[in-house]
Amino acid sequence: RVCGGRNIMEWSIRHPACNYRDGLGLNKVGWSHKTMVSNKTECPKHSSNFLCLTASFSPFLLLLQYHVDGNRAMFYVEDATTANSLLKVSRKITDKDGYKVTVIMNSCPPPSFINTELRPEDLENLKQCMSKRFDGSQQALDLNNIRIDPDLVSLNIEVALNRKNSMQAVIKIIEENIPELVCLNLSNNRLYRLDDLGEIVNKTPNLKILNLSQNEIKTERELDRLKGLSLTELWLSGNPLCNHFKDQTAYIRSDGQVFSVIGFDIEVSPQPLPPCKTSYFPTDEIKNLILCFLQQYYSVYDSADRQPLLDAYHDGAAFSLSIPFSMQHPSKCSLGEYQKDSRNIKRLKDSTTRFRLLKHTRLNVVAFLNELPKTQHDVASFNVDVNTFTNTLLSFTVSGVFKEVDGKSRDSFRAFSRVFISVPAGNSSLCIINDEMFIRNATTEEIRRAFVAPAPTPSSSPVPTLSATQQEMLNTFSSKSGMNIEWSQKCLQDNDWDFDRAAQIFTELKAQGKIPDVAFMK
């Protein structure tokens, strides 16, 4: 029997015991016309026993694109609950020959054949249907369980809001006709993802009340898609994510908006995220110590030969490197070169390999560092946090951005995070005992911000002789700004020794946080 525009064939499937047990009625299983294996009214061999079993699940179980390939029968089902139930049946039923049937399940995005666009006449009917469900006095649109709306069903119009095309069509109709919408009810629509709904942000600026109850939303992260809506009420009851809340006063953070969950009715009290602070140093003394150390360390690290770094490491120093694990195919900017030395013990279970990848003794450490691609670090952009310090131990984490300047990945931008554990060394410096580095590709934002600050003037560059006036101006500028001589001089030079202009520029840059800490090191 063919029904409706989608040519669904309906099959009556019997549970094997349905003639003998009560409560097992005939259950319909449908699948779309693409799945027709034969046009005879018989079930394909592997299906009948399997589907007999599915009859006990739901009155209407839709198997999509059912097809038989060799000794495998394959199909899609729409929701996770059904899929999991079918998976449980694996190896519990046998086919006609007595062999156990194995069920394998993979989750996947909606397959292409699902994209049934609504035809223009359907869209017009949908608009009529929606206008019936719209209450102008409240500016409220009720799309609860829209799929079973009698008007739509009688016209065979399939509107499943958990599908992109349906949601897009509905949002378009809202945008074109009722953009002043205040209240939207989307309950009972089997929504499990909100990225299609996210399109509504900016189209309905007055939307204050959103009802997403009785859907299939699994994590509160989905709500991030609704960033930009200034809701006063958000209904989430009857979603799997509700099980995550242990008590009634649980909170969800979404882009700085704090939702308080009271009996699963949500109120939004906007509260922005605190801004991210820069480096942390417990004392100025430690700050100067570390910054000075890093300045020296990285000037060697960025040079052609890293051998002098031997002086920075303890005899028994240890070093390791790791990179993020990725299944993607290697690309030009990939971290392929670092792959073989990546000591990610989450993936490396073999103790021999783990041992081999740990560089031990300063000779090995520096030899290895010398093999890594030549770099240029943006020292000005470093973020340094002191983890712990005692009289005899100082541990700090450095994160920042660098550029590879040679090799296959020349000009690639990387971001790194490096933890140092050090002890005091002679001439008030540091001696590294442990060095652990993590390298990843830099984000576009990081690349944009990198190397923007003026390059620090190395103190070894020739200082042009200054006139007495300039010298005096320099001293004044330095003491007033707090910057050291080199940086003060650069600032003044860049501004043609116009004290006021230099001071103005300095104040502006300082307010914007663009002046690196090294400028203030005397």
Partner 1 sequence: MGDKPIWEQIGSSFVQHYYQLFDTDRTQLGAIYIDASCLTWEGQQFQGKAAIVEKLSSLPFTKIAHSITAQDHQPTPDSCILSMVVGQLKADDDQILGFQQTFLLKNYSSAWVCTNEVFRLALHNL
Chain residues in the site for partner 1 (CB under 8 A): 14-22, 48-49, 53, 92-93, 96
Q: Which is nearer to partner 1, 14 or 440 (CB)?
A: 14
Q: CA-to-CA distance for 83 and 236, rounded, in angstroms? A: 23
Least distance in angstroms from the C-beta of 118 to partner 1: 40
Q: CA-to-CA distance for 185 and 139, rounded, in angstroms? A: 11
Q: Which is nearer to partner 1, 45 or 133 (CB)?
A: 45
State which amino acid sits at residue 134. Answer: F
Q: Which is nearer to partner 1, 98 or 426 (CB)?
A: 98
Angle between helices 468-481 and 499-511 (to 10 degrees): 20
Least distance in angstroms from the C-beta of 38 to partner 1: 17
Q: Which is nearer to partner 1, 22 or 305 (CB)?
A: 22
Length of the chain: 522
**Phi first, then psi: what are they for 476, rounded to 5°?**
-60, -45
Q: Which is nearer to partner 1, 20 or 469 (CB)?
A: 20
Least distance in angstroms from the C-beta of 92 to partner 1: 4
From the list 241, 258, 261, the residue with the least C-alpha distance to 250 is 261
Name the residue with tokens 């004044």.
Answer: 476
Taking residue 425's Cβ as centre, other Cβ atoms within 10 Å add up to 14
Q: Which is nearer to partner 1, 49 or 144 (CB)?
A: 49
Name the residue with tokens 């652990």.
Answer: 436
Least distance in angstroms from the C-beta of 46 to partner 1: 13
Measured CA distances, 460 to 299, 400, 463, 464, 486 (Å) = 12, 25, 8, 12, 10
From the list 172, 175, 190, 181, the residue with the least C-alpha distance to 120 is 172
Q: Which is nearer to partner 1, 53 or 421 (CB)?
A: 53
Least distance in angstroms from the C-beta of 20 to partner 1: 5
Q: Which is nearer to partner 1, 53 or 171 (CB)?
A: 53
The DSSP secondary-structure symbol of 166 reads H
Q: Which is nearer to partner 1, 34 or 91 (CB)?
A: 91
Q: CA-to-CA distance for 56 and 23, rounded, in angstroms? A: 9
Which distant-in-sequence residues (6+ apart) come within 8 Å of 519 by Cβ? 456, 483, 484, 487
Which three-class secondary structure state does DSSP give residue 208?
coil
Strands 2-3 and 257-262 come out as unpaired
Where helices occur in 267-361 by DSSP H, the ranges are 284-301, 336-339, 351-357
Least distance in angstroms from the C-beta of 17 to partner 1: 5
Least distance in angstroms from the C-beta of 24 to partner 1: 10
Measured CA distances, 264 to 55, 184, 191, 245, 261 (Å) = 35, 17, 17, 9, 5
Q: Which is nearer to partner 1, 49 or 85 (CB)?
A: 49
Cα dihedral value 370, 376, 377, 379, nearest 10 = 120
Least distance in angstroms from the C-beta of 241 to partner 1: 33
Least distance in angstroms from the C-beta of 94 to partner 1: 9
Least distance in angstroms from the C-beta of 16 to partner 1: 6
